Amino acid sequence: MKRIDSEWPADLLRAHLLRPFSALADFLYPPACSVCGISTGGHRGLCAKCWSGIRFIERPYCEVLGIPFSHDLGAGILSAEAIANPPPFDRLRSAATHDHAVRDLVHGLKYRDRTDLAPMMAGWMLRASDGTVESCDALIPVPLHRTRMLARKFNQAAELARDMARLSGKPLFAATLIRVKRTSQQVGLGAKAREDNVRGAFAIAKGRENDISGKRIVLVDDVYTTGATVAAASRTLRKAGAAEITVLTFARALSEPI
């Protein structure tokens, strides 16, 4: 029998001790694609077909809105949208476009209680963060109103932020930004209706102002569509004295590169 050395690193020792349980788990719950369910070689992965359908958002893109360009126009180039209508945050970064397998992952986490997907999705978001998580002071998830939280039992943005905090070692301020207005579902609303829906929806929790003042914040959400929700949240953070705000989402609605 292999001797377990007391000087082994803690993570290696833990992996050694848990190996029999992992084998049993693989037998009872065989590894499968997180999207379509086909058998795969490991947990929390995608099959080749689903993986090939993901459109990751890579450079070149607008330095503010993260909109991909079809051609490299040089460093620091902004999109026409960012110039004409500057957002209340400093920059937006997203891991992938909101279609095909990515949409299935978002819906799995958000509507089918697949919180087991959050670690994989958070890892992709860290890669897409362009170094902003590494340099930030704290991660803050876009909050749900307490009534919706009771109905859903968890906040998908907070699940993603929690795993990013664990992976990056950055502080997570999950109770600093709160939603004080019960808003309607954004799905199906136009851009103007979305903006009206979330106006005045957010506030800083009493006594948590120092979490924001002078800090570099990464605001976390699952999907960026029109940007109304993160814009409203960013205005609240900016009013509270945030020095820098990066919006980081897993997916964003996007047709084609410009």
Going by the DSSP 8-state scheme, the letter that residue 29 receives in this structure is S
8 A C-beta contact, residue 209 and residue 237 = no
Alpha-carbon distance of 256 to 258, in angstroms, equals: 6
Q: Is 108 helix (H, G, I), strand (E, B) or coil?
A: helix
Q: What is the pTM of this model?
A: 0.85
Greatest Cα-to-Cα distance within the chain, rounded to the nearest angstrom: 69
Please, what are the domains in the chain? 18-53 (no CATH), 57-252 (3.40.50.2020)
- Gyration radius of the chain's alpha carbons: 20
The label of the residue with tokens 């999207």 reads: 35
How do residues 96-114 score in pLDDT, each as one tens digit? Answer: 999 989 999 999 999 999 9
Asked whether the predicted pLDDT for residue 2 surpasses 70, the reply is no
Instruction: Give the pair of three-digit tokens for residue 220.
Output: 């976390």
For 69-197, list the strands marked E by DSSP.
91-97, 138-141, 177-179
How do residues 53-69 score in pLDDT, each as one tens digit? Answer: 899 999 999 999 999 99
